[in-house]
Structure 1
Amino acid sequence: MSPVPPSNGPPPIDAATSPATPTISHPKPNGEGEPADASLPDNYVTYQLSRQTPLPPITWGNWYKELNLLHFAVLGLTPLLGIIGAFTVSLRWETAVWSVIYYFMTAVGITAGYHRLWAHRSYNASKPLQYFLSILGAGAVQGSIRWWARGHRAHHRYTDTDLDPYSAHRGLLWSHIGWMVFKPRRNPGVADISDLSKNEIVRWQHRHYLQLVVLMGYIFPTVVAGLGWGDWKGGYVYAGLLRLFFVHQSTFCVNSLAHYLGDAPFDDKHTPRDHLITALCTVGEGYHNFHHQFPMDYRNAIKWYQYDPTKWTIWVTSKLGLSSHLKVFPDNEVRKGQLTMQLKNLREVQEKLSWPSDNSHLPVISWESYLQQAQSRPLICIAGFIHDVEDFLDQHPGGRHLLTKYIGRDATTAFFGGVYEHSNAAHNLLSMKRVGVLHGGAPHGLEDKAIPPSQRLRIARYNEMSGSGYSSGALSDGDGFMA
């Protein structure tokens, strides 16, 4: 009878019928040609870097020659005109409210649309929602979906390498805005967007992008303020120009601040970090360490109290029937990542502490030698270890006399509850005073007492697991000398 597979796992593999080698399934070509990354060499990053000659470093002498003039104009003129306008046009409260609302609308077009829907495919969206997000995303004036998603997929695939278009290793200013203002020093790594090339909404937005930018970036916010409460100039200055400046800085913080500020609760292999301030600046994209570990998850913040309005927006659209198949990484695997980092942090704390010598570093002493040496030194035997308590005689909470009476004797029973059931702290401190191992080790039944409480849950690397080093048995026969 064949075994019944467990209900919470896949069925077992029959070794007699399973193939000796796995079958590799290559991506199949589509209407737009085969995926861009279908035939990459295994050493693609090294290979690509060796074939590229990067542009020269940007200096004070050549910076103006290296400008991306289109991007420089958009990113430079927008705040300049907005600041000039703010000095000449008073801000009405209606326009202020509208500017904030439209800021969040266009930012969500990037975070929920460009980022989580199209770049990472973390959920499915209906056509009406896709059109809506694509239009709002155009209002943020950050390039078309195809252009934005291609660069972002390269960023995730080649994070912190020279093929990352906005690598954090090139500095905070570069990853924030420098990569946009200046010509790229290298071509970014290949990233497949064949799925986006087949999407009719993405193609439509790419084809009409310039018209959508003018309409949604500048005209629409101006018209709303103008027709709504007669503030045409204010709508243009505040809801158009200055709102756009803040949306730019918000999104750029995902590439810069989110790789600089905060901690790494899931993995510290790369630069992404989690921080509330970054989340507040980026409409919820600030839990970036989680995102880089689990990029297909529709959430950035996994705890209910963490600030992630983009997650809440996507969830609401799913309840309204506008989106579906919200992807969530298995909680068990998320917790593994958290546990790994917690153990790593504990290991760092552990390595900063002083620990007792294990059996392999202590001399093995016979009972006769112990008695002889105890005549000139305050030595006490407990659980198979011999301890020098000279520096603790006057500090013993129970008084000096309780220690001196056990010099040259076996105090195991007294220490483990016969006289007083000592605390974990006492056990840990005692282990630091070991100077030898009694020949024969700990009395039978007390072997586990040889391991101090602080070491019973000690963090060990995989290559340290072969031997515990905690055996209380004697390592060799004969007498020895104690340190």
Structure 2
Amino acid sequence: MAGDSEVQQTESGKDVCELDATGDVDPKLYPKRIIWKNVILLSGLHVISIYAISRAAHFKAFTVTLGIITYLLGGLGVTAGVHRLWTHRSYKARLPLRILLMICNSMALQNSIFDWSRDHRTHHKYSETNADPHNATRGFFFSHMGWLLVRKHPEVVRKGRGILVNDLLHDPVVAFQRRYYVPLAIACCFVIPSLIPWYLAGESLVNAYLVSALRYCLTLHATWCVNSLAHMYGNKPYDKRIHPSENILTASIALGEGFHNYHHTFPHDYATSEYGMKLNLTTAFIDFMALIGLAYDRRVIGKEAVNSRKKKTGELSGLADARW
């Protein structure tokens, strides 16, 4: 209805969309614009990764071992760092741990802590709507990686501006990484992991780089599976009304982030699961950091509250004699 609409520009300032009577951008009028730079970079990364796999027999054991270690460290920078610590504030970390997680997060090269946290808070508040950066209702490919290949839906930009980020702005570790993100990320993700096996094990720089690129590609897909697989496939014992599901495959490769129906039901539980450290390396890491005094104030949802929610909104809710 023309009388109820107004002009809305995207972040590029070039796309014009109309707002409907509810104030949301009409998805039918949203002009999808491809980000060709991202298409080229991600396509190149996958070509290099496939080539790396074809040369796997030529890599030194030290280089492969380092690749596995950096996969785990980069993953923890996402799961224990930007996700559970900075986005959800599900526990607190002392300065040495925050610095370590910032370095690990830079190794993962998935955007700065500030940008990642802002977008993820937007995702939780507006999950599976046009304001969700990786809205799973737009299909598997879009929620997995396609959302990075097109301009953000105007609703993501518009409603993302209302997300509270004061805590992030006042964290000096976040501010430092945000200011120097590009050189930090390139150094931590590619340069240092390539130089170490070259210097210590006599690996060729080409092979060392190929392993780093493959590790980076696998880290990306592990994270993306949380947005796609864990939002589309699995059971929903805690809240059957939402898309996020319990996906064991995702939990296995994403260091414990696949218990997604639980996480979206209880987003502030530091373990993102009621099963403790089971298939949850991130929870084990945080618990160890707490043991040595670097993590504290871990937030936990009580068993009674969890069981009550299961009976109220879970897939087995309403069944007499249901066992939990």
The residue that corresponds to 1:216 in the other structure is: 188
CA distance in 1 between counterparts of 2:177 and 2:321 reads 57
Task: Please report how far the alpha carbon of residue 160 of structure 1 lies from its aligned counterpart in structure 2 after TM superposition.
Answer: 1.1
The residue that corresponds to 1:23 in the other structure is: none
Q: 1:74 aligns with which of 38, 41, 54?
A: 41
Q: Counterpart of 1:345 in 2: which secondary structure?
A: coil
Task: Please report how far the alpha carbon of residue 54 of structure 1 lies from its aligned counterpart in structure 2 after TM superposition.
Answer: 4.9
Q: Tell me whether 1:96 sits opposite 2:69 in the alignment.
A: no
Closer, same or farther: CA 310–88 of 1 in aligned 2, 3 Å: closer
Q: Tell me whether 1:235 sits opposite 2:235 in the alignment.
A: no
CA distance in 1 between counterparts of 2:29 and 2:263 reads 30
The residue that corresponds to 2:103 in the other structure is: 135
Structure number with greater CO (CA < 8 Å, separation at least 6) is 2
CA distance in 2 between counterparts of 1:242 and 1:124 reads 32
Task: Please report how far the alpha carbon of residue 214 of structure 1 lies from its aligned counterpart in structure 2 after TM superposition.
Answer: 1.1
Q: Tell me whether 1:198 sits opposite 2:166 in the alignment.
A: no
Closer, same or farther: CA 327–237 of 1 in aligned 2, 3 Å: same
Deviation digits for residues 34-55 of structure 1 (CA, Å, limit 9, x no counterpart): xxxxxxxxxxx97441589852
CA distance in 2 between counterparts of 1:346 and 1:277 reads 25
Equivalent pair of 2:52/2:210 in contact (CA under 8 Å): yes
The residue that corresponds to 1:183 in the other structure is: 151
CA distance in 2 between counterparts of 1:318 and 1:458 reads 38
Say how many residue pairs are matched: 297
Letter in 1 for 2:129: T
TM-score of the two chains, using structure 1 as the length reference: 0.58
The residue that corresponds to 2:316 in the other structure is: 345
Q: Counterpart of 1:273 in 2: which secondary structure?
A: coil
Closer, same or farther: CA 197–73 of 1 in aligned 2, 3 Å: farther
Q: Tell me whether 1:56 sits opposite 2:23 in the alignment.
A: no
CA distance in 1 between counterparts of 2:213 and 2:39 reads 15
Deviation digits for residues 136-165 of structure 1 (CA, Å, limit 9, x no counterpart): 111111100111011100000001111111
Q: Percent identity?
A: 29
The residue that corresponds to 1:251 in the other structure is: 223
Deviation digits for residues 230-269 of structure 1 (CA, Å, limit 9, x no counterpart): 113322111x100000000000111111111210010012
TM-score of the two chains, using structure 2 as the length reference: 0.85
Letter in 1 for 2:191: I
Letter in 2 for 1:115: H
Task: Please report how far the alpha carbon of residue 135 of structure 1 lies from its aligned counterpart in structure 2 after TM superposition.
Answer: 1.2
Task: Please report how far the alpha carbon of residue 69 of structure 1 lies from its aligned counterpart in structure 2 after TM superposition.
Answer: 3.1
Letter in 1 for 2:133: P
The residue that corresponds to 1:126 in the other structure is: 94
Task: Please report how far the alpha carbon of residue 223 of structure 1 lies from its aligned counterpart in structure 2 after TM superposition.
Answer: 1.4
Q: Which runs of 5+ in 2 are unaligned?
A: 1-19
Deviation digits for residues 440-480 of structure 1 (CA, Å, limit 9, x no counterpart): xxxxxxxxxxxxxxxxx699xxxxxxxxxxxxxxxxxxxxx
Closer, same or farther: CA 70–205 of 1 in aligned 2, 3 Å: farther
Task: Please report how far the alpha carbon of residue 87 of structure 1 lies from its aligned counterpart in structure 2 after TM superposition.
Answer: 4.2
Q: 2:73 aligns with which of 82, 87, 105?
A: 105
The residue that corresponds to 1:266 in the other structure is: 238
Equivalent pair of 1:275/1:287 in contact (CA under 8 Å): yes
Equivalent pair of 1:120/1:296 in contact (CA under 8 Å): yes
CA distance in 1 between counterparts of 2:268 and 2:25 reads 31
Letter in 1 for 2:263: H
Q: Tell me whether 1:166 sits opposite 2:139 in the alignment.
A: no
Q: Tell me whether 1:300 sits opposite 2:272 in the alignment.
A: yes
CA distance in 1 between counterparts of 2:201 and 2:39 reads 33
Task: Please report how far the alpha carbon of residue 274 of structure 1 lies from its aligned counterpart in structure 2 after TM superposition.
Answer: 0.4
Equivalent pair of 2:84/2:91 in contact (CA under 8 Å): yes
CA distance in 1 between counterparts of 2:41 and 2:99 reads 24
Equivalent pair of 2:276/2:283 in contact (CA under 8 Å): no
Letter in 2 for 1:102: T
CA distance in 1 between counterparts of 2:53 and 2:321 reads 61
Larger radius of gyration, structure 1 or 2? 1
The residue that corresponds to 1:287 in the other structure is: 259
Pick the structure with more helix per residue.
2
CA distance in 1 between counterparts of 2:252 and 2:311 reads 26
Task: Please report how far the alpha carbon of residue 195 of structure 1 lies from its aligned counterpart in structure 2 after TM superposition.
Answer: 1.1
Q: 2:295 aligns with which of 323, 333, 337?
A: 323
CA distance in 2 between counterparts of 1:197 and 1:242 reads 33
Q: Counterpart of 2:282 in 1: which secondary structure?
A: helix
Closer, same or farther: CA 50–221 of 1 in aligned 2, 3 Å: closer
Q: Counterpart of 1:49 in 2: which secondary structure?
A: coil
Letter in 2 for 1:202: V
Closer, same or farther: CA 77–256 of 1 in aligned 2, 3 Å: same
Closer, same or farther: CA 182–335 of 1 in aligned 2, 3 Å: same
Equivalent pair of 1:68/1:181 in contact (CA under 8 Å): yes
Equivalent pair of 1:134/1:202 in contact (CA under 8 Å): yes
Deviation digits for residues 357-404 of structure 1 (CA, Å, limit 9, x no counterpart): xxxxxxxxxxxxxxxxxxxxxxxxxxxxxxxxxxxxxxxxxxxxxxxx
Q: Which runs of 5+ in 1 are unaligned?
A: 1-44, 58-65, 351-456, 460-483
Task: Please report how far the alpha carbon of residue 318 of structure 1 lies from its aligned counterpart in structure 2 after TM superposition.
Answer: 0.7
Closer, same or farther: CA 345–186 of 1 in aligned 2, 3 Å: same
